[in-house]
Amino acid sequence: MDLSRHIETFTAFAAQYLTGNQKNDYLIQLKIDHSLRVLDNARAILDGENISGHSACLTRLAALYHDIGRFPQYARYGTYKDADSTNHGRLGVLTLRELDLPGKLTDRDWRTIRAAVALHNVKDIRSELSAPLSTMVKTVRDADKIDIYEVILDHLGQDSETKPVVIHSLVENPDRYSDTVYRMVFSEKTCDYNLMRYTNDFILLITGWIFTLNFTASVHLLAQKNLVERAFSILPKNDRIQSLENKVLKFMHYKTLSTP
Ligand SMILES: [Fe+2]
């Protein structure tokens, strides 16, 4: 499979949404760059887990196209917040169906890729998925979380009109965080985006993602990027945050010790 032709198709499709408006174009470019980095992360995870062949090929495509719904979402609704617009995973499936895609993959393969796109952003995967969909969904979800982790941390320090779109218009107060979010993250439960009030809640939520990563290679990638340390350096300093940091670091230590 010629991945470069797919990258060209994807970027040409996304570039149609560039309008010349600075804010719009910044936010469209953010999702183009995100998609390409998710592809890179997925490649690193597949290599680290020694996954190759056809399922790795389908996984790379699912990673590249996972957020294709973001472009029509922003054009129609002016937001990336699904709760205020539409489910971008499902919109991605509809978008992919209409797209003229290169290569010679079978209809069945494209159906599997679309299924992975639909499942990349669901809160929890409840049922056991069959191969290769299971590998695709697990890899794309991990690759996506690792990049979002970085994008959120990068944007928290910025002061721009695009920041509210990226950090979901949360209240900025360096000392505040929600008790519910803290308790959910500490007990390793999936925290809903709707529970967030403060920017620190978003940081807490992403620090909890480490417990949800599907592959040891994903924990390695997160560790390599130094993201956990960066997240805790922003959060307020107190005993509760310290216990969470100890718990996260211990988890990361044992996971990364288990394999090279
Ligand atoms: Fe997404």
153 located within any domain:
no
What separation in Å is there between the alpha carbon of 14 and the centre of ligand 1?
A: 14
| CATH code for position 20 | 1.10.3210.10
What separation in Å is there between the alpha carbon of 34 and the centre of ligand 1?
A: 9
What separation in Å is there between the alpha carbon of 122 and the centre of ligand 1?
A: 9
Q: Tell me what pLDDT residue 34 has.
A: 97
Amino acid 185 reads V
Q: Tell me what pLDDT residue 19 has.
A: 97
What separation in Å is there between the alpha carbon of 192 and the centre of ligand 1?
A: 15
What separation in Å is there between the alpha carbon of 70 and the centre of ligand 1?
A: 7
Among 140, 160, 186, where does a domain finish? 140
Neighbours of 187 (CB within 10 A): 10
What separation in Å is there between the alpha carbon of 27 and the centre of ligand 1?
A: 14
What separation in Å is there between the alpha carbon of 159 and the centre of ligand 1?
A: 24
Shared-domain flag, residues 190 and 115: no
What separation in Å is there between the alpha carbon of 89 and the centre of ligand 1?
A: 6
Shared-domain flag, residues 6 and 132: yes
Shared-domain flag, residues 195 and 259: yes
For 104, list phi and psi in degrees, rounded to 5.
-125, 40
Shared-domain flag, residues 26 and 136: yes
Distance between CA atoms of residues 41 and 68, nearest Å: 17
What separation in Å is there between the alpha carbon of 79 and the centre of ligand 1?
A: 13
Shared-domain flag, residues 205 and 119: no
Shared-domain flag, residues 90 and 194: no
Tens-place pLDDT, residues 92-132: 999 999 999 999 899 999 999 999 999 999 988 878 899 99
What separation in Å is there between the alpha carbon of 88 and the centre of ligand 1?
A: 7
Token pair, residue 245, equals: 């940091």
Domain span holding position 21: 1-140
Tens-place pLDDT, residues 78-91: 999 898 999 999 99
126 located within any domain:
yes
What separation in Å is there between the alpha carbon of 76 and the centre of ligand 1?
A: 16
Token pair, residue 107, equals: 């209809």
Residues 140 and 120: beta-carbon distance below 8 Å: yes
Mean pLDDT, range 45-62, rounded to an integer: 97
What separation in Å is there between the alpha carbon of 191 and the centre of ligand 1?
A: 16
Shared-domain flag, residues 6 and 76: yes
- pTM of the entire structure? 0.93
Sign of CA dihedral 11, 12, 16, 21: positive
Burial status of residue 238 (CB atoms within 10 A of its CB: 0-12, 13-18, 19 or more): exposed
What separation in Å is there between the alpha carbon of 115 and the centre of ligand 1?
A: 13
Which of 86-99 are b and which e, b meaning 16 or more Cβ less than 10 Å from the residue's Cβ?
bebbbbbbebbeee
Tens-place pLDDT, residues 143-192: 999 999 999 898 876 666 666 666 667 888 889 999 999 999 999 998 88
Is a pLDDT exceeding 60 seen at residue 259?
no
Is a pLDDT exceeding 90 seen at residue 15?
yes
Among 98, 124, 140, where does a domain finish? 140
Closest CA to 151 of 251, 232, 231, 53: 231
Question: Per-residue DSSP letters for the chain?
Answer: --HHHHHHHHHHHHHTT--S-HHHHHHHHHHHHHHHHHHHHHHHHHHHTT--HHHHHHHHHHHHHTTTTHHHHHHHHS---GGGS--HHHHHHHHHHHS---S---HHHHHHHHHHHHHTT-S---SPPPTTHHHHHHHHHHHHHHHHHHHHHHHHT--STTHHHHTTT-B--TT---HHHHHHHHTTPPPPGGG--BHHHHHHHHHGGGGG-S-HHHHHHHHHTTHHHHHHHHS--SHHHHHHHHHHHHHHHHHHHS--
What separation in Å is there between the alpha carbon of 87 and the centre of ligand 1?
A: 9
Shared-domain flag, residues 131 and 16: yes
What separation in Å is there between the alpha carbon of 81 and the centre of ligand 1?
A: 10
What separation in Å is there between the alpha carbon of 65 and the centre of ligand 1?
A: 10
Tens-place pLDDT, residues 195-244: 999 999 999 999 999 999 999 999 999 999 999 999 999 999 999 999 99
Confidence of residue 26 (pLDDT cuts 50, 70, 90): very high
Shared-domain flag, residues 72 and 188: no
Distance between CA atoms of residues 9 and 204, nearest Å: 36
What separation in Å is there between the alpha carbon of 50 and the centre of ligand 1?
A: 25
Q: Tell me what pLDDT residue 256 has.
A: 84
Strand partners, 171: 198
